[in-house]
Amino acid sequence: MSQDGVDLERSLGYLLKEASSALRAAMEEVLRPLGMTVTHYSCLELLAQRPGLSNSELARGAFVTRQSMNVLLQALERDGYVTRPAAPPAGKALPTRLTPRGRRSLEKASAAVRSVEVRMLAGLSGDDQSEAVRILRSMIQSLRA
Amino acid sequence: MSQDGVDLERSLGYLLKEASSALRAAMEEVLRPLGMTVTHYSCLELLAQRPGLSNSELARGAFVTRQSMNVLLQALERDGYVTRPAAPPAGKALPTRLTPRGRRSLEKASAAVRSVEVRMLAGLSGDDQSEAVRILRSMIQSLRA
DNA sequence: TGACTCATGTCAGCATCCTGACATACGGTG
DNA sequence: CACCGTATGTCAGGATGCTGACATGAGTCA
């Protein structure tokens, strides 16, 4: 290995990517024994917090395309984790809901993911966490503009 | 669109992913006119800061696999942006270096990316940025453990 | 010296995800 | 009403990236 970074360790953009990547890896690690992927979990978690989300809304929330989310939803529906009405109640959007089975499956995954987040925040005070939320929100808003 | 997040907006993990995703999208947007992808740029930037990095080291730094970085390096070498010795000076690692052409290409991209980072940090004070660096480093370290 | 471990570069095969496109449905505005 | 812009679900097609595996080179330790 070469010498460590000069500029890189000071670049917020790089640190952001690094942290996000490490978080995803840690999540994959704890979700794999449960036979679940990160997108899989994200979808269930989104549905638990906001029942009735459409395919497109779930895709945006899980940071994948509508097409990818659609194949995932078809699998989840086939296996009985979620339900969608046969016909759209309005427009074209199909509101999706968790089944009891989906809810049970989510509980285990949620506990696993929560443990990862706890570990991630181990060295941070409550104030630090509030600051982090504020700063990240500011970054997101500025980038969207 | 449904009601906005209850728990989601408070989850540091989610905000992290959201910020990272927004940053990547913004970078893709400014790099596309230059015919460059984010991984492409990351590779050049890494080489500018640490000349002589091997394929594997570049892959780790750009958060892709060795295999993916290898095909990128082959293209970059073919087009004259980087050079690698025909035979490894030691072991199997081939130290890679930027050519003048690669350096010129990087300059434009670097300016574009810097403008994105400036925009991202628009609403943040210097203290905020230092805090962000400290907090992100703590998260990364805790996750690696 | 020999056995073991680890890291590297590279090959093949495959899964994943995205780009592009289409028909449809809603909301506004003339 | 007719038109236009936007959003949705869905269908291929293709590019991109990853997993798995192998041989090689270097370092470690008995």
pLDDT in tens, B86-102: 887 888 889 999 999 99
Q: Please count the residue pairs, one from chain A and one from chain B, whose beta carbons lie less than 8 angstroms apart.
A: 165
Number of residues assigned to chain A: 145
Structure tokens at B42: 């990351």
Digit-coded pLDDT (tens) for B22-69: 999 999 989 988 989 999 999 999 999 999 999 999 999 999 999 999
Q: Decide if A1 is inside a domain.
A: no
What H or E segment, with its residue span, contains residue A81? Answer: none
Average pLDDT for A72-82: 92
**Does A82 reside within a domain?**
yes
Please provide the average confidence, as pLDDT, over all residues in chain A.
89
How big is the CA angle at B135 (ends B23 and A4), to the nearest 5 degrees?
A: 80
Residues of A in contact with B141 (CB under 8 A): 123
Angstrom distance (rounded) from CA A120 to CA A132? 13
Best residue in A7, A18, A44 to probe B by mutation, most B CBs within 10 Å? A18
Question: What pLDDT score was predicted for residue A92?
Answer: 81
Q: Do B12 and A120 touch (CB under 8 A)?
A: yes
Give percent of chain B with pLDDT exceeding 70: 93
Q: Which residues from chain A sit within 8 angstroms of residue B18, using beta carbons?
A: 63, 136, 140
pLDDT digits (tens, 9 = 90+) for A128-141: 999 999 999 999 99
Q: What's the confidence (pLDDT) of residue A89?
A: 77
- Domain assignment of residue B17, yes or no: yes
Residues of chain B with Cβ-Cβ distance to A19 below 8 Å are: 16, 20, 136, 139-140, 143
> In this model, does residue A4 exceed pLDDT 50?
no
- Please tell me the total number of residues recorded for chain B in this structure: 145
Nucleic acid strand C within 7 Å of A65 CB: yes
For chain B, give the mean pLDDT. Answer: 90
Contact at CB, A11 and B117, closer than 8 angstroms: yes
**Domain-embedded: residue A2:** no
- Phi and psi for A123 in degrees, rounded to 5? -90, 15
Q: What total of structural domains would you count in chain A?
A: 1
Within-domain flag for B3? no
- Whole-number distance in Å between B9 CA and D7 C1': 24
Chain A residue numbers touching B116 (CB-CB < 8 A):
13, 143
Bases on strand C under 7 Å from any protein CB: 7-12, 16-20, 24-26
ipTM over 0.95: no
- Residue B1 inside a domain? The answer is no
CATH of the domain at A20: 1.10.10.10
Domain that holds residue B52: 8-144
With CB atoms and an 8 Å threshold, state whether B23 touches A10: no
A20 CB closer than 7 A to any strand C atom: no
Q: b/e per residue, A82-109, with b = 16+ CB within 10 A?
A: bebeeeeeeeeebbbebeeebeebbeeb
Pairing of strands B82-83, B97-98: antiparallel
As a whole number of angstroms, the distance between CA A65 and CA B28 comes to 16
pLDDT at A61 over 80: yes
- Indicate whether A1 pLDDT > 70: no
